[in-house]
A and B are shown apart, each in its own frame.
Chain A
Amino acid sequence: MHGFANPTRFLKLAKWLTPLLLLSGLVLVAISLVWGLYFVPPDRLMGETVRILFIHVPSAWLGMGGWTAIAISSLVYLVWKHPLAAISARAAAVPGMVFTALCLATGSIWGRPTWGTWWEWDGRLTSMLVLLFLYFGYIALSQAIAREGVSPRIAAIFGLVGAINIPIINRSVVWWNSLHQPASISIGKSAIDPAFLVPLAIAVLGFSLLFGGVVLARMRALLADFQAEARVRRMALETA
Protein backbone atom coordinates (compact mmCIF):
# COMPACT_ATOMS: atom_id res chain seq x y z
CA MET A 1 0.00 0.00 0.00
CA HIS A 2 2.84 2.38 0.87
CA GLY A 3 4.27 1.81 -2.61
CA PHE A 4 1.15 3.27 -4.24
CA ALA A 5 1.38 6.33 -1.99
CA ASN A 6 4.18 7.49 -4.30
CA PRO A 7 2.48 10.04 -6.65
CA THR A 8 4.61 9.03 -9.67
CA ARG A 9 3.74 5.35 -9.25
CA PHE A 10 0.09 6.25 -8.61
CA LEU A 11 -0.12 8.40 -11.77
CA LYS A 12 1.43 5.63 -13.88
CA LEU A 13 -1.25 3.22 -12.63
CA ALA A 14 -4.13 5.72 -12.77
CA LYS A 15 -3.35 6.75 -16.36
CA TRP A 16 -4.62 3.47 -17.83
CA LEU A 17 -6.94 2.48 -14.98
CA THR A 18 -9.14 5.63 -15.14
CA PRO A 19 -10.50 5.17 -18.71
CA LEU A 20 -10.70 1.40 -18.17
CA LEU A 21 -12.91 1.78 -15.07
CA LEU A 22 -15.07 4.48 -16.66
CA LEU A 23 -15.64 2.60 -19.92
CA SER A 24 -16.32 -0.79 -18.32
CA GLY A 25 -18.60 0.93 -15.78
CA LEU A 26 -20.58 2.70 -18.51
CA VAL A 27 -21.03 -0.56 -20.45
CA LEU A 28 -22.20 -2.52 -17.38
CA VAL A 29 -24.54 0.28 -16.24
CA ALA A 30 -26.06 0.48 -19.75
CA ILE A 31 -26.59 -3.32 -19.83
CA SER A 32 -28.18 -3.38 -16.36
CA LEU A 33 -30.49 -0.42 -17.01
CA VAL A 34 -31.71 -1.77 -20.36
CA TRP A 35 -32.20 -5.17 -18.66
CA GLY A 36 -34.05 -3.50 -15.78
CA LEU A 37 -36.29 -1.44 -18.06
CA TYR A 38 -37.20 -4.01 -20.69
CA PHE A 39 -36.52 -7.57 -19.51
CA VAL A 40 -37.38 -7.67 -15.81
CA PRO A 41 -40.98 -8.68 -14.96
CA PRO A 42 -43.14 -6.35 -12.83
CA ASP A 43 -43.05 -7.13 -9.11
CA ARG A 44 -46.07 -8.74 -7.43
CA LEU A 45 -46.42 -5.89 -4.89
CA MET A 46 -44.61 -2.90 -6.36
CA GLY A 47 -45.55 -3.43 -10.00
CA GLU A 48 -43.48 -1.55 -12.61
CA THR A 49 -41.85 0.74 -10.03
CA VAL A 50 -39.55 -2.12 -8.98
CA ARG A 51 -37.37 -1.10 -11.95
CA ILE A 52 -36.22 1.97 -9.96
CA LEU A 53 -34.30 -0.57 -7.82
CA PHE A 54 -31.48 -0.71 -10.42
CA ILE A 55 -30.63 2.97 -9.92
CA HIS A 56 -31.70 3.51 -6.31
CA VAL A 57 -29.81 0.62 -4.67
CA PRO A 58 -26.40 1.28 -6.34
CA SER A 59 -26.79 4.99 -5.48
CA ALA A 60 -27.48 4.17 -1.82
CA TRP A 61 -24.55 1.73 -1.71
CA LEU A 62 -22.16 4.28 -3.24
CA GLY A 63 -23.45 7.19 -1.15
CA MET A 64 -22.47 5.22 1.96
CA GLY A 65 -19.41 3.71 0.24
CA GLY A 66 -18.16 7.22 -0.60
CA TRP A 67 -18.13 8.25 3.04
CA THR A 68 -16.55 4.94 4.06
CA ALA A 69 -13.76 5.69 1.55
CA ILE A 70 -13.38 9.18 3.05
CA ALA A 71 -13.15 7.70 6.57
CA ILE A 72 -10.57 5.05 5.60
CA SER A 73 -8.44 7.55 3.64
CA SER A 74 -8.69 10.02 6.54
CA LEU A 75 -7.50 7.36 8.98
CA VAL A 76 -4.58 6.48 6.67
CA TYR A 77 -3.71 10.18 6.42
CA LEU A 78 -3.85 10.71 10.19
CA VAL A 79 -1.75 7.60 10.94
CA TRP A 80 0.83 7.63 8.11
CA LYS A 81 0.57 11.26 6.91
CA HIS A 82 0.47 10.22 3.25
CA PRO A 83 -0.59 13.31 1.21
CA LEU A 84 -2.13 10.98 -1.37
CA ALA A 85 -4.53 9.65 1.30
CA ALA A 86 -5.80 13.21 1.94
CA ILE A 87 -6.23 13.65 -1.84
CA SER A 88 -8.14 10.36 -2.17
CA ALA A 89 -10.49 11.39 0.68
CA ARG A 90 -11.19 14.69 -1.07
CA ALA A 91 -11.64 12.90 -4.41
CA ALA A 92 -14.32 10.57 -3.02
CA ALA A 93 -16.44 13.44 -1.68
CA VAL A 94 -18.12 14.74 -4.87
CA PRO A 95 -19.07 11.31 -6.34
CA GLY A 96 -20.28 10.24 -2.87
CA MET A 97 -22.40 13.38 -2.62
CA VAL A 98 -23.83 12.91 -6.14
CA PHE A 99 -24.83 9.29 -5.41
CA THR A 100 -26.37 10.27 -2.05
CA ALA A 101 -28.42 12.96 -3.81
CA LEU A 102 -29.44 10.46 -6.52
CA CYS A 103 -30.43 7.94 -3.84
CA LEU A 104 -32.66 10.52 -2.13
CA ALA A 105 -34.16 11.74 -5.42
CA THR A 106 -34.90 8.29 -6.86
CA GLY A 107 -36.15 7.08 -3.46
CA SER A 108 -38.54 10.02 -3.28
CA ILE A 109 -39.78 9.30 -6.83
CA TRP A 110 -40.23 5.63 -5.85
CA GLY A 111 -41.99 6.56 -2.59
CA ARG A 112 -44.80 8.54 -4.21
CA PRO A 113 -46.52 5.63 -6.06
CA THR A 114 -45.45 2.98 -3.48
CA TRP A 115 -46.02 4.71 -0.11
CA GLY A 116 -48.28 7.56 -1.29
CA THR A 117 -45.79 10.22 -0.19
CA TRP A 118 -42.67 11.89 -1.62
CA TRP A 119 -41.00 12.15 1.80
CA GLU A 120 -41.28 10.74 5.32
CA TRP A 121 -39.16 11.86 8.28
CA ASP A 122 -38.25 8.32 9.31
CA GLY A 123 -34.87 6.94 10.38
CA ARG A 124 -33.60 5.76 6.98
CA LEU A 125 -34.56 8.81 4.94
CA THR A 126 -33.48 11.30 7.60
CA SER A 127 -30.10 9.65 8.23
CA MET A 128 -29.48 9.60 4.45
CA LEU A 129 -30.33 13.32 4.30
CA VAL A 130 -27.88 13.91 7.17
CA LEU A 131 -25.24 12.11 5.06
CA LEU A 132 -25.89 14.55 2.19
CA PHE A 133 -25.39 17.50 4.56
CA LEU A 134 -22.19 15.89 5.89
CA TYR A 135 -20.91 15.73 2.30
CA PHE A 136 -21.75 19.45 1.81
CA GLY A 137 -19.83 20.29 4.99
CA TYR A 138 -16.86 18.08 4.10
CA ILE A 139 -16.55 19.50 0.56
CA ALA A 140 -16.77 23.11 1.81
CA LEU A 141 -14.23 22.42 4.56
CA SER A 142 -11.71 20.62 2.31
CA GLN A 143 -11.99 23.34 -0.37
CA ALA A 144 -11.37 26.05 2.23
CA ILE A 145 -8.37 24.08 3.59
CA ALA A 146 -6.90 23.70 0.07
CA ARG A 147 -7.46 27.40 -0.66
CA GLU A 148 -5.77 28.52 2.57
CA GLY A 149 -2.95 26.00 2.12
CA VAL A 150 -3.27 24.58 5.66
CA SER A 151 -3.01 20.95 6.82
CA PRO A 152 -5.92 18.66 5.83
CA ARG A 153 -5.96 17.27 9.41
CA ILE A 154 -9.25 18.96 10.36
CA ALA A 155 -10.97 17.58 7.25
CA ALA A 156 -9.60 14.11 8.09
CA ILE A 157 -11.02 14.31 11.63
CA PHE A 158 -14.37 15.49 10.20
CA GLY A 159 -14.29 12.52 7.78
CA LEU A 160 -13.69 10.09 10.65
CA VAL A 161 -16.33 11.57 12.97
CA GLY A 162 -18.92 11.69 10.18
CA ALA A 163 -18.50 7.93 9.65
CA ILE A 164 -20.67 7.39 12.76
CA ASN A 165 -23.65 8.05 10.47
CA ILE A 166 -22.90 5.01 8.25
CA PRO A 167 -23.91 2.27 10.77
CA ILE A 168 -26.89 4.48 11.77
CA ILE A 169 -28.11 4.48 8.13
CA ASN A 170 -27.51 0.73 7.89
CA ARG A 171 -29.37 -0.15 11.13
CA SER A 172 -32.07 2.58 10.91
CA VAL A 173 -34.71 0.20 9.48
CA VAL A 174 -34.12 -2.17 12.42
CA TRP A 175 -33.96 0.44 15.21
CA TRP A 176 -36.97 2.56 14.18
CA ASN A 177 -40.37 1.93 12.59
CA SER A 178 -40.00 2.88 8.97
CA LEU A 179 -41.90 2.92 5.70
CA HIS A 180 -38.63 1.78 4.16
CA GLN A 181 -38.34 -1.98 3.83
CA PRO A 182 -35.67 -3.83 5.85
CA ALA A 183 -32.49 -5.03 4.15
CA SER A 184 -33.22 -7.60 1.41
CA ILE A 185 -29.60 -8.70 1.06
CA SER A 186 -27.26 -9.70 3.88
CA ILE A 187 -24.02 -11.70 3.92
CA GLY A 188 -24.73 -15.04 2.23
CA LYS A 189 -28.53 -14.45 2.05
CA SER A 190 -30.89 -12.70 -0.33
CA ALA A 191 -34.67 -12.24 -0.29
CA ILE A 192 -34.60 -10.97 -3.88
CA ASP A 193 -35.70 -13.22 -6.74
CA PRO A 194 -32.84 -14.06 -9.20
CA ALA A 195 -34.83 -12.30 -11.96
CA PHE A 196 -34.07 -9.03 -10.14
CA LEU A 197 -30.87 -10.03 -8.35
CA VAL A 198 -28.73 -10.68 -11.46
CA PRO A 199 -29.33 -7.28 -13.16
CA LEU A 200 -29.05 -5.62 -9.74
CA ALA A 201 -25.61 -7.20 -9.20
CA ILE A 202 -24.52 -5.96 -12.65
CA ALA A 203 -25.85 -2.46 -11.87
CA VAL A 204 -24.03 -2.35 -8.51
CA LEU A 205 -20.80 -3.52 -10.16
CA GLY A 206 -21.16 -1.06 -13.06
CA PHE A 207 -21.91 1.95 -10.85
CA SER A 208 -19.06 0.93 -8.50
CA LEU A 209 -16.60 0.85 -11.43
CA LEU A 210 -17.86 4.30 -12.50
CA PHE A 211 -17.38 5.53 -8.94
CA GLY A 212 -13.81 4.18 -8.92
CA GLY A 213 -13.08 5.82 -12.28
CA VAL A 214 -14.46 9.18 -11.11
CA VAL A 215 -12.43 9.01 -7.86
CA LEU A 216 -9.25 8.32 -9.87
CA ALA A 217 -10.05 11.18 -12.28
CA ARG A 218 -10.63 13.53 -9.31
CA MET A 219 -7.36 12.39 -7.70
CA ARG A 220 -5.47 13.06 -10.94
CA ALA A 221 -7.09 16.51 -11.22
CA LEU A 222 -6.33 17.45 -7.60
CA LEU A 223 -2.76 16.15 -7.88
CA ALA A 224 -2.18 18.03 -11.17
CA ASP A 225 -3.52 21.28 -9.64
CA PHE A 226 -1.22 20.78 -6.64
CA GLN A 227 1.81 20.08 -8.87
CA ALA A 228 1.08 23.12 -11.09
CA GLU A 229 0.75 25.41 -8.05
CA ALA A 230 3.97 24.05 -6.53
CA ARG A 231 5.81 24.62 -9.81
CA VAL A 232 4.51 28.20 -10.12
CA ARG A 233 5.55 28.92 -6.52
CA ARG A 234 9.03 27.48 -7.15
CA MET A 235 9.42 29.57 -10.32
CA ALA A 236 8.34 32.70 -8.42
CA LEU A 237 10.94 32.00 -5.72
CA GLU A 238 13.67 31.43 -8.31
CA THR A 239 12.96 34.74 -10.09
CA ALA A 240 12.66 36.71 -6.82
Chain B
Amino acid sequence: MYEALDQWDFVVAAYAVGIAGTLGMVAWAWWDMRRAEAKRDKVKRK
Protein backbone atom coordinates (compact mmCIF):
# COMPACT_ATOMS: atom_id res chain seq x y z
CA MET B 1 0.00 0.00 0.00
CA TYR B 2 1.36 3.44 -0.88
CA GLU B 3 2.01 5.57 2.14
CA ALA B 4 2.45 9.32 1.66
CA LEU B 5 5.28 10.60 3.84
CA ASP B 6 6.49 14.17 3.97
CA GLN B 7 10.27 13.80 3.73
CA TRP B 8 10.82 17.19 5.38
CA ASP B 9 9.25 15.90 8.63
CA PHE B 10 12.04 13.32 8.85
CA VAL B 11 14.73 15.83 7.94
CA VAL B 12 13.53 18.26 10.64
CA ALA B 13 13.29 15.44 13.22
CA ALA B 14 16.84 14.24 12.46
CA TYR B 15 18.24 17.80 12.69
CA ALA B 16 16.36 18.45 15.95
CA VAL B 17 17.71 15.23 17.54
CA GLY B 18 21.24 15.85 16.23
CA ILE B 19 21.46 19.51 17.25
CA ALA B 20 19.83 18.99 20.68
CA GLY B 21 22.10 16.02 21.44
CA THR B 22 25.27 17.79 20.34
CA LEU B 23 24.54 21.11 22.06
CA GLY B 24 23.42 19.31 25.22
CA MET B 25 26.67 17.35 25.34
CA VAL B 26 28.83 20.46 24.72
CA ALA B 27 26.98 22.47 27.41
CA TRP B 28 27.21 19.61 29.95
CA ALA B 29 30.96 19.06 29.27
CA TRP B 30 31.69 22.79 29.62
CA TRP B 31 29.60 23.19 32.78
CA ASP B 32 31.09 20.08 34.42
CA MET B 33 34.64 21.26 33.61
CA ARG B 34 33.97 24.68 35.17
CA ARG B 35 32.41 23.02 38.26
CA ALA B 36 35.36 20.64 38.75
CA GLU B 37 37.99 23.36 38.28
CA ALA B 38 36.18 25.74 40.66
CA LYS B 39 36.04 22.95 43.27
CA ARG B 40 39.77 22.21 42.83
CA ASP B 41 40.69 25.91 43.14
CA LYS B 42 38.54 26.23 46.28
CA VAL B 43 40.27 23.23 47.89
CA LYS B 44 43.68 24.61 46.89
CA ARG B 45 42.99 27.94 48.63
CA LYS B 46 42.22 26.20 51.97
In the complex the two chains form, what is the Cα distance from A35 to B41 in whole Å? 43
Given A52-B11, A112-B10, A220:B26 Cβ within 8 A: no
Given A33-B19, A55-B15, A224:B36 Cβ within 8 A: yes
- A106/B17 in contact, CB under 8 A: yes
Q: Which of B13, B18, B37 contacts A221 (CB 8 A)?
A: B37
- B11/A228 in contact, CB under 8 A: no
Number of interface residues of A (CB under 8 A): 41
**B-contact bits for A75-99, CB 8 A (1 contact / 0 none):** 0000000000000000000110010
Dominant SS at the A interface? helix
Q: Is A101 an interface residue (CB 8 A)?
A: yes
Residues of B within 8 A of A113 (CB): 5, 7, 10
Nearest-neighbour CB distance to chain A for B23, whole angstroms, equals 8
- A217/B17 in contact, CB under 8 A: no
Q: Which of B5, B14, B39, B43 contacts A56 (CB 8 A)?
A: B14
- A94/B18 in contact, CB under 8 A: no
In the complex the two chains form, what is the Cα distance from A8 to B5 in whole Å? 56
**Which residues of B (1-23) have their CB < 8 Å from a CB of A?**
5, 7-8, 10-11, 13-15, 17-19, 21-22
- A220/B33 in contact, CB under 8 A: yes
In the complex the two chains form, what is the Cα distance from A106 to B43 in whole Å? 43
Residues of A within 8 A of B33 (CB): 18, 217-218, 220-221, 224
Of the listed stretches A43-51, A153-161, A175-183, name the one at the interface; the rest are far from the partner chain: A43-51
Nearest-neighbour CB distance to chain B for A200, whole angstroms, equals 14
Residues of B within 8 A of A1 (CB): none
For B20, give the chain A residue with the smallest CB separation: A102
Q: Is A227 an interface residue (CB 8 A)?
A: yes
Residues of B within 8 A of A95 (CB): 25, 29
For A29, give the chain B residue with the smallest CB separation: B22
Chain A interface residues (CB < 8 Å from chain B)? 18, 22, 26, 29, 33, 37, 47-49, 51-52, 55-56, 59, 94-95, 98, 101-102, 105-106, 109-110, 112-113, 207, 210, 213-214, 217-218, 220-222, 224-225, 227-228, 231-232, 235
* Contacts A/B (CB < 8 Å), 18 sampled: A22-B30, A33-B15, A48-B8, A52-B10, A55-B18, A102-B22, A106-B18, A109-B14, A112-B5, A214-B25, A214-B29, A218-B33, A220-B33, A221-B32, A225-B40, A231-B40, A231-B44, A232-B43
Chain B interface residues (CB < 8 Å from chain A)? 5, 7-8, 10-11, 13-15, 17-19, 21-22, 25-26, 29-30, 32-33, 35-37, 39-40, 43-44, 46
